[in-house]
């Protein structure tokens, strides 16, 4: 990862504030690029379910930053859903997977109520190994 990571200050400049869902979008997108071996911007399609309202929808901005898939290019979509579920697809070879939040992560997010706690959690999540946060399944 190293220098290619989206920095938190960059993300805040784009999004306007620091929150856990923004960071989770960054982490999920970075993981997808790596796992699918796809190119940023044009090389993938992203479908996000269950993140239509704030603060969950902040996830979408993190995903746009890290994957380069954007509304302008039409390769990221926000759909209804009861739970957060993100489908990533490599546009060149159709390789896909689905990412869901682990129960432990969902619990931590639910327990975080104040603005200050949200910022702290965001910073902590940024340093956390993605595999401790997300469950990945192939989508066939
Ligand atoms: Zn936000």
CATH number of domain containing 36: 3.30.1330.130
What's the 62 CA to ligand 1 centre distance in angstroms? Answer: 9
What's the 67 CA to ligand 1 centre distance in angstroms? Answer: 17
Q: What is the pLDDT of residues 4-20, one digit of tens each?
A: 799 999 999 999 999 99
What's the 38 CA to ligand 1 centre distance in angstroms? Answer: 26
What's the 97 CA to ligand 1 centre distance in angstroms? Answer: 25
What's the 93 CA to ligand 1 centre distance in angstroms? Answer: 32
The total domain count for the chain is 1
Q: 1: pLDDT confidence band, cut at 50, 70 and 90?
A: very low
Q: β-pairing, 134-138 with 76-79? A: unpaired
Q: What is the pLDDT of residues 33-82, one digit of tens each?
A: 999 999 999 999 999 999 999 999 999 999 999 999 999 999 999 999 99
Per-residue pLDDT, averaged over 89-116, amounts to 97
pLDDT of res. 16? 97
Q: Which DSSP string do the residues of 32-72 spell out, in sequence order?
A: HHHHHTPPTTTSEEEEEES--STTTTHHHHHHHHHH---TT
Domain extent at residue 43: 2-138
What's the 94 CA to ligand 1 centre distance in angstroms? Answer: 31
């Amino acid at each position: 990862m190293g220098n290619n990571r989206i920095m938190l200050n960059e993300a805040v400049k784009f999004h306007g504030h620091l929150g856990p869902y923004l960071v989770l979008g960054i982490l999920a997108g970075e993981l997808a690029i790596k796992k699918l071996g796809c190119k940023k911007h044009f090389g993938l399609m992203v479908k996000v379910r269950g993140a239509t309202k704030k603060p969950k929808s902040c996830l979408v901005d993190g995903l746009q930053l890290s994957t380069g898939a954007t509304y302008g290019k039409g390769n990221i979509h926000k759909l209804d859903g009861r739970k957060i579920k993100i489908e990533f697809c490599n546009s060149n070879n159709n390789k896909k997977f689905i990412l869901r939040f682990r129960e432990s992560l969902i619990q931590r997010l639910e327990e975080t109520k104040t603005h200050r706690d949200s910022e702290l959690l965001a910073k902590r999540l940024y340093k956390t190994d993605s595999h401790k946060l997300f469950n990945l399944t192939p989508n066939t």
